[in-house]
Every structure is written in structure tokens, then in C-alpha cells.
Amino acid sequence: MAKRRKKKHLKKVSFLFLFIFIIGGVYCSIHYFNEQENRHMLFLKNKQKEEEKRIKKELEEKYSTCLTKPFTLEELTEELQNKKKEINNLIVKNNYKTSVYYEDIVTGFTYTYNPTTVYYGASLIKLVDALYLIHKATLGEINLDTETITYNATYKKAFSSGLEKHAYGDKITLRELITHAISVSDNSAHMMLYDYIGRENLKSYGQSLGGKVIMTGSDKFGNQTAEDTNFYLKEAYKIITENAEYGPFLKEIMDNNERNSFNTETVKIYHKYGACDPYYYHDIGLSLEEHPYAISILTLHENSNYKEVVQNVHAKIIELQNLFYETRENTCQLEVYGN
């Protein structure tokens, strides 16, 4: 009887182990398949996220491309045309004797008013001095820090605060002379650079940038138009943004308040002015903000309200640029995102 009970007991134990084994196998199988399913779902989710990121990046790139594409006349909406007319009316109504050239550097969108009228350029030529010498230094043909010019009495001119610390006979580097010519509009520095460069070299270089009236006139400063100064500003922008060696230098010396009529608490322009009694006052410069632009305002208001002219016209141009980008942003939003 004991053997039978033992056999029955063993059968029950075996059955229990078998049952546990089967249940365990089923559980493991379910767990395995669930794990595989979870991994598969996670894979699909990650793949979906990657695809969403790719699509988002692609749309952002399309939107950015749309915002920065070259301007075409088809974009000149009635609202933009009316804003341009507002600037014209401001100039005419207030009898401003001025020429204006504004250009959004990225898109080429422009506003101009009498851009080819010829003015005595005065110290505006000093920017071309700087561009020419930086160009030559970039080519390795000159060294701004080792090449010098000797200061003597023939170079002594009025409005030369930069060279006041120097005595006749001092050898002054090209870099220091450029700094004085741009940052404080030093006339003696320009005379020294003019002789070093040579009139025809300066003229040819300006013409290579697009200038048409550069060095016309009988003196060492010459004439300018708003159209010509716009060419020079765009070259300055190219140097500032692309030339790692000389860009920071040019930016630094154009960052000055020497008769800077553009700058306000909210506006910053890297500039060069030119002035000559009794009529000529000009200010030209670059905005380096999110939407960079070149602005040239040449006037016959030296002995009157030149600052009012520059600031009022410039304020309207800022409104024009803001409207242009609002219009383009709306167009690009519809084009890329459809809403």
C-alpha cells in the first residue's frame, strides 16, 4: 500500500512540475512576445519622431530659403509701393535736398531717391582708402602693420585729431592711418594714404566695385553719388562678414559716433560721414542686425538740419524694411506651411 501511495504522490508531483513548467513556458513566451512588441513599437515611435524631425528641418530650411531669396518686382505689393511713396512725400514735403540709397543686402530689396545725383563727397572717400588697402593686404601685397608713411608738415590739415599725438618725422603704420581716417575722419591721414595709394589706383579700384564718379573733381576727395557709395558699403559688408583677418578691424573702426546721425537708443549703424561747409553733409553705413542693410543719405544740409534729414528718412526706411519682411514672412508661411 505504501508503494502505491508513493507512486500516486510522485505522479502528482510530476504533474505539478509539468503544469508549472507549462505555465512558466507560456508566461515566458507571452513576456518575450510582449517585449518584442514593445521594442517594435518603440522602434516605430523613434522612427516616426526622426521622420517628424526630418520633415520639420526640411520645412524650416524651405522657409529660411524663402525668406532670403532674391527680391523680384512681383513682390512689390501695393502696400510696399505706398510705403515708398511715403518716403518720397516726406522728402518733398519738407524740402529735403537729399539723395538716398537703401538696399537689403540679403535679398536685394531697395529704395532709392535721386541715387545718381552727384555731390561733393568730402570724407566719404576715406572708406574707399580703407577698402583698397585691406584688399591689397588680403592679397598679401602689403602689410598694414609693418609698412609706414612718414608724417611731415605738408600733410598737416584741419580736422586731424587722430594725428595730434604725432610729431613731424614720425613713421605711422598703414593700420593706424586707416583707423584715424575712418574712426575720427582725420584729413591728414587721408592725405598720407592718398599719396601712398595714388589717385589712379584709388579711382580704378572704386570703379572695379561699380563706382562711376569716383575721383571726379580737382581735389583729393572727389565726388560721390548715393549709388556709388552703396557699392562701397556692400564691399565693406563683405569684408566684415567674410574676411576673418581684417573684417573685425573694419567693423571696429566703422563703429564710431563721429558725427553719426544714424545712431539712436534703438538703432546702430557702422558708418562713415562726409561733410564740407557750407552745404554738404553725408552719412553712409551698415546695419548688421538680423536683416542687414546698407544705407546712404547724401545731403545739402551741412549748415542746417542735416541730422533731422538723416534720422527722419532713415526711420521711414526702417518702416519700409519691416513691412517688406512682414509681407515676405506671410508669403513664406503660406508657401511652406500652408497656413
Is 6 inside a domain boundary? no
The predicted-structure confidence for 219-276, as pLDDT tens digits, reads as follows 999 999 999 999 999 999 999 999 999 999 999 999 999 999 999 999 999 999 999 9
- Report how far residue 233's alpha carbon sits from residue 294's, in angstroms, rounded to the nearest whole number: 6
- Mean pLDDT across the stretch 316-335? 96
The predicted-structure confidence for 56-112, as pLDDT tens digits, reads as follows 888 789 989 999 999 999 999 999 999 999 999 999 999 999 999 999 999 999 999
**Number of independent structural domains in the chain:** 1
Is 9 inside a domain boundary? no
Is 27 inside a domain boundary? no
The model's pTM is 0.87
Evaluate if residue 161 carries a pLDDT over 70.
yes
Q: The CATH number of the domain where 232 resides is what?
A: 3.40.710.10
Is 237 inside a domain boundary? yes
* Domain enclosing residue 301, as ranges: 69-337
Is 89 inside a domain boundary? yes
Is 105 inside a domain boundary? yes
Is 80 inside a domain boundary? yes
Is 34 inside a domain boundary? no
pLDDT given at position 278: 96
Confidence band, pLDDT 50/70/90 cuts, at residue 37: confident
Please tell me the least confidently modeled range out of 1-5, 88-92, 211-215, 237-241.
1-5
Evaluate if residue 4 carries a pLDDT over 60.
no
